[in-house]
Amino acid sequence: MKILVTFCFLLLIPMFLLSTATSAVIRTVEGIATAVSDGDTFKLGTLEGTKLRVRLYGIDAPEREKINLRTGMISKHGQPYGEEAFGALKSKISDKKVRVDIIDIDRYKRMVGIVNLNGRNINLEMVKEGWAWAYREYLERPYASEYLDAEKEARDKRLGLWQQYNPRPPWEFRKLMRIR
């Protein structure tokens, strides 16, 4: 199985290197969302039998508390609305056939892409419903204005995580956790 994953990964690298725009689709894959990790990451079982980790492009959801299964202790602290963001993504895609337009491969070797389910942009839905921030650091054209507008609308309507006064973005939370 590792050989198959490595082979698929190696097939994606040339496409990634040949893409001229950083937000251009380098490949589209279809499969079943087999497990949701948090509000912006899940596992995809492709129709060919490959298992991929997928990170939703252009969004960053609140961090979810992680429990060490061996010790039962908290191994990673979470943020307010982390569980709700996880639940929102899980209810949208879990055990469903999705299409992922892969835009990038991140440093953790996850496919970074836009998730489509029956013509719906799930990434954008997560921002519109207030379960994630538009991830400005990595968000580029042609998606930036649409995602930023969706975030502003969710903020104005106080949806999801925007019910909090001045919520801490996940990228700041992660940085703070590394310092501790």
Q: Would you please indicate which residues are annotated as catalytic (active-site) residues?
A: 55, 63, 110
- In the numeric block, the tokens 């519109």 are attached to 128
Distance CA 68, CA 66 (A): 7
8 Å CB contact between 34 and 51? yes
8 Å CB contact between 26 and 72? no
Tokens of 104: 């990038």
Distance CA 89, CA 107 (A): 23
8 Å CB contact between 33 and 51? no
Q: Under 8 Å CB-to-CB from 89, ≥6 apart: which residues?
A: 36, 38, 39, 40, 42, 56, 61, 122, 126, 131
Strands 59-60 and 51-56, how do they pair?
A: unpaired
Distance CA 31, CA 50 (A): 9
Query: By three-state DSSP, how is residue 180 classified?
Result: coil
